[in-house]
Amino acid sequence: DIQMTQSPSSLSASVGDRVTITCRASQTIGSYLYWYQQKVGKAPKLLISTATTLQSGVPSRFSGSRSGTDFTLTISSLQPEDFATYYCQQSYSGRTFGQGTKVEIK
């Protein structure tokens, strides 16, 4: 099974901060990596597909990158509506989600 290790599990940040969340795969997954945002009581929302492709309608302050089996979600300037939990997910073999990163207000 492919394991996805997300870090940190939580972080506190202020509006306007640059935020980086990392996801490491236990083996190669190519670029079969997706990022989701989930707000309390809501279903997840797809932000980025295939590691770097921003979904239509998602603000450009969100971006994704890949370096080998390490993947990064960056929010360039945190906005109030960005406080949520973020999950990575691989689709190279089956499907696996990371443990989530909760972004809280500092």
Site for other proteins in 5-34 (CB under 8 A): 32, 34
- 52-to-10, 31, 40, 47, 48 alpha-carbon distances in Å: 22, 8, 25, 10, 6
> Which of 8/15 has CB closer to other proteins?
8
Asked if residue 96 binds other proteins (CB under 8 A), the reply is: yes
Site string for other proteins, 60-89 (x = CB under 8 A): ---------------------------x-x
Q: Cα–chain-centroid distance for residue 94?
A: 19
